[in-house]
């Protein structure tokens, strides 16, 4: 039973990989485009086609660890009116899009799990609804996990671009010289568990906040 559950979870992670990551990367591309940089549009990144956004390591980590990343969206900051501010806004758009998806997923999960929805269903329909509810519940966790992970202030993650918007340029470019080594260190820390636990604590705090913000659903449709 435990093996079947693990396989089911991996399949859901794979399903969410084709939704959460494309939305995240498309949000970056669309924001950059709206702020005046045509680079993402020219490279075909304003799309929800998952194959335009996925990377091998980021996808594997998302499937097996619940945290990951997509193919970075190329941005030319010289096209922005205010390069530092607009680069930070472009970076912020990705995690925010995942938090919005997480919120909507939790709302749908609570609706599907409510007594008002389940009461009139047959046993088979309840079982199917239960599985669909699990998918949306895991969508909440995966999207929150993506947002939390990408807020880390290390390159090439979004948090570094947000954080570096307040740093002098010379410090920013010095940090970026070690981008490849930093992300390798992050992967090692994830697999060793040293980083997974702090991320899980942050993820749990955001989930609790989501639960509070969707409390209106609980009042309207109590859980069945």
Catalytic residue of the set 25, 123, 127, 179: 25
Residue 113 has a CB neighbour count (10 Å cut-off) of 21
Task: Please state, in angstroms and rounded to a whole number, the distance separating the CA atoms of residues 136 and 109.
Answer: 5
Q: Cis check for the bond before 156: say yes or no (omega within 30 of 0).
A: yes
- Which tokens belong to 12? 């859901």
Spell 4-43 as b/e; 16+ CB within 10 A means b: eeeeeeeebbeebbebbbbbbbbbbbbbbbebebebbeee
Closest CA to 186 of 93, 94, 72, 67: 67
Is residue 25 flagged as an active site residue? yes
Give bridge partners of residue 223 from the DSSP assignment: 114
- Residue 64 makes CB contacts below 8 A (sequence gap 6+) with 10, 13
Q: Which residues are catalytic?
A: 25
């Amino acid at each position: 039973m435990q093996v079947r559950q693990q396989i089911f979870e991996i399949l859901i992670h794979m399903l969410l990989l084709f939704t959460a990551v494309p939305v995240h990367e498309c949000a970056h591309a669309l924001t950059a485009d709206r702020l005046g940089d045509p680079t993402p549009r020219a490279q075909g990144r304003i799309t929800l086609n998952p194959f335009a956004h996925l990377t091998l390591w980021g996808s594997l980590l998302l499937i097996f660890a619940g945290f990951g990343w997509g193919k970075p969206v190329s941005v030319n900051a010289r096209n922005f009116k205010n390069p530092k501010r607009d680069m930070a806004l472009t970076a912020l758009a990705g995690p925010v899009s995942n938090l919005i998806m997480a919120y909507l997923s939790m709302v749908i999960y609570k609706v599907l799990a409510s007594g008002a929805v389940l009461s009139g269903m047959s046993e088979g329909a309840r079982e199917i609804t239960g599985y669909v509810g699990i998918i949306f519940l895991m969508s909440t966790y995966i999207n929150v996990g993506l947002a939390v992970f990408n807020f880390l202030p290390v390159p090439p993650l979004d948090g570094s671009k947000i954080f570096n918007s307040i740093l002098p340029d010379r410090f920013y470019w010095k940090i970026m010289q070690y981008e490849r080594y930093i992300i390798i260190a992050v992967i090692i820390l994830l697999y060793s568990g040293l980083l997974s636990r702090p991320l899980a604590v942050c993820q749990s705090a955001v989930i609790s906040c989501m639960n509070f913000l969707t409390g209106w659903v609980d009042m309207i449709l109590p859980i069945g």
